[in-house]
Amino acid sequence: MRNMRMSLAPRRAVAALAAVLLAGSVAACGNSDTGAGGGGGDDKIVLGFSQVGAESGWRTANTNSIKEAAAEAGIDLKFDDAQQKQENQIKAIRNYIQQKVDVIAFSPVVESGWDTVLKEAKDAGIPVILTDRAVDSADKSLYKTFLGSDFVKEGRLSGEWLVENSKDATGDVNIVELQGTTGSAPANDRKKGFGEAIAADPKLKVIASQSGDFTRAGGKQVMEQFLKAHPKIDVLFAHNDDMGLGALEAITAAGKVPGKDITIITIDAVKDGMQALADGKFNFIAECSPLLGPQLMDLAKKVHAGEEVPPRIETEETTFTQEQAKTALPNRKY
Ligand code: GZL
Q: Ligand 1 centroid to 181 CA: how many Å?
A: 9
Question: Are 131 and 215 part of one and the same domain?
Answer: no
In a domain, 133, yes or no: yes
Question: Are 80 and 133 part of one and the same domain?
Answer: yes
Mutation choice for ligand 1 from 288, 315, 316, 334, CB with most ligand atoms inside 8 A: 288
Coil vs helix vs strand at 30: helix
Rounded to an integer, what distance in angstroms lies between the CA atom of residue 20 and that of residue 44?
Answer: 30
pLDDT of residue 166: 96
Question: Are 172 and 255 part of one and the same domain?
Answer: yes
In a domain, 325, yes or no: no
Question: Are 84 and 169 part of one and the same domain?
Answer: no
Question: Are 186 and 295 part of one and the same domain?
Answer: no
Q: Ligand 1 centroid to 240 CA: how many Å?
A: 7
pLDDT of residue 31: 33
In a domain, 11, yes or no: no
Question: Are 233 and 168 part of one and the same domain?
Answer: yes
Question: Are 156 and 277 part of one and the same domain?
Answer: yes
Coil vs helix vs strand at 99: coil
Higher pLDDT, 10 or 60: 60
Question: Are 171 and 138 part of one and the same domain?
Answer: no
**Low-confidence winner among 6-20, 55-69, 93-107 (lowest mean pLDDT):** 6-20
pLDDT of residue 139: 97
Q: Among candidates 49, 174, 61, which has minimal Cα distance to 107?
A: 49
pLDDT of residue 163: 98
In a domain, 88, yes or no: yes
| Adjacent-strand bridge partners of 183 | none
In a domain, 15, yes or no: no
- Cα angle value 241/244/249 (rounded, 5°): 135
| pTM beyond 0.95 | no
Mean pLDDT over all residues of the chain?
Answer: 91
113 contacts: CB under 8 Å, gap ≥ 6:
86
Q: Ligand 1 centroid to 10 CA: how many Å?
A: 63
pLDDT of residue 16: 54
Q: What average pLDDT does the segment 306-328 reach?
A: 97
pLDDT of residue 32: 32
What are the pLDDT digits (tens) for 141-154? 999 999 999 999 99
In a domain, 330, yes or no: no
Rounded to an integer, what distance in angstroms lies between the CA atom of residue 299 and that of residue 138?
Answer: 22
Q: Ligand 1 centroid to 59 CA: how many Å?
A: 6
Cα distance between the two ends of the chain: 73
Q: Ligand 1 centroid to 209 CA: how many Å?
A: 18
Name the residue range of residue 84's domain: 46-149+290-316
pLDDT of residue 33: 34
Ligand 1, atom nearest to 184 Cα: 7
Question: Are 157 and 283 part of one and the same domain?
Answer: yes
Domain count, the chain: 2
9 has pLDDT over 60: no
Rounded to an integer, what distance in angstroms lies between the CA atom of residue 220 and that of residue 142?
Answer: 38
189 has pLDDT over 50: yes
Q: What average pLDDT does the segment 13-41 reach?
A: 44
287 has pLDDT over 70: yes
Question: Are 112 and 91 part of one and the same domain?
Answer: yes
Q: Among candidates 307, 196, 212, which has minimal Cα distance to 250?
A: 212
3 has pLDDT over 90: no
pLDDT of residue 248: 98
**Low-confidence winner among 20-24, 78-82, 253-257 (lowest mean pLDDT):** 20-24
Do residues 96 and 104 touch, judged by C-beta distance below 8 A? Answer: yes
pLDDT of residue 18: 52
Q: DSSP string covering 37-98, please?
A: TTSSSSSPPEEEEEE--S-SHHHHHHHHHHHHHHHHHT-EEEEEE-TT-HHHHHHHHHHHHH
In a domain, 34, yes or no: no
Rounded to an integer, what distance in angstroms lies between the CA atom of residue 125 and that of residue 304?
Answer: 11
pLDDT of residue 83: 97
Question: Are 205 and 299 part of one and the same domain?
Answer: no
In a domain, 13, yes or no: no
CATH code for the domain in which residue 137 is found: 3.40.50.2300
Higher pLDDT, 16 or 67: 67
Model confidence band, residue 14 (pLDDT cutoffs 50, 70, 90): low
pLDDT of residue 298: 98
81 contacts: CB under 8 Å, gap ≥ 6:
51, 53, 54, 63
Rounded to an integer, what distance in angstroms lies between the CA atom of residue 214 and that of residue 278?
Answer: 21
- Cα angle value 30/89/113 (rounded, 5°): 125
Question: Are 246 and 198 part of one and the same domain?
Answer: yes
Q: Which residues contact ligand 1 via a Cβ below 6 A?
A: 55-56, 58-59, 132-133, 148-149, 186, 214, 240, 242, 267-268, 288
Rounded to a whole number of angstroms, the CA Rg of the chain reads 25
Ligand 1, atom nearest to 185 Cα: 7
